[in-house]
Structure 1
């Protein structure tokens, strides 16, 4: 029996390290969908004016969405000296 592998190999949803104000959730959503991070943040703040569990949703996404991996440090060539 074979297991089906997902065919989608696009960008994954990850919390941003470089475009993060609080937890990187809005920056990660913006990067995943190709939107401006400021727009995502403004929409989130405006959504706070509506009734609903927006803050709980943000906290849940903060916990569930994995953090973007740290960029690998460039390898310095060895210089005998």
Structure 2
């Protein structure tokens, strides 16, 4: 069974970016609020772990919008 509504692809928008557009692209792909994704990302930086590395990897791997 297939649906006719395709979900947006995982890409970085050209408009509405703060730094690289990673959070905006993730929010758009999953239908979440961009503000919530950004706040969760910044809050996660307070915890130990490879969050900055993950952000940079996504920045490099996520393509820009084709618009």
With the shorter chain as reference, the TM-score category is 0.7 to 0.9
Shift of 1:32: 0.4
Shift of 1:13: 0.4
**TM-score, structure 1 normalization:** 0.73
Give aligned pairs, total. 64
Match of 2:61 among 61, 64, 68: 64
Pair member with larger Rg: 1
Shift of 1:38: 0.6
Shift of 1:10: 2.3
Please tell me whether residue 18 in structure 1 is matched to residue 15 in structure 2.
Answer: yes
**TM-score, structure 2 normalization:** 0.87
- Measured on the aligned residues, the alpha-carbon RMSD in Å equals 1.4
Indicate the structure with greater helix content.
2
Please tell me whether residue 41 in structure 1 is matched to residue 38 in structure 2.
Answer: yes
Question: How far apart, CA to CA, are the structure 1 residues paired with 2:35 and 2:66?
Answer: 22
Return the structure number with greater relative CO, CA threshold 8 A, min gap 6.
Answer: 2
Q: 1:73 is matched with which residue?
A: none
Question: How far apart, CA to CA, are the structure 1 residues paired with 2:47 and 2:26?
Answer: 20
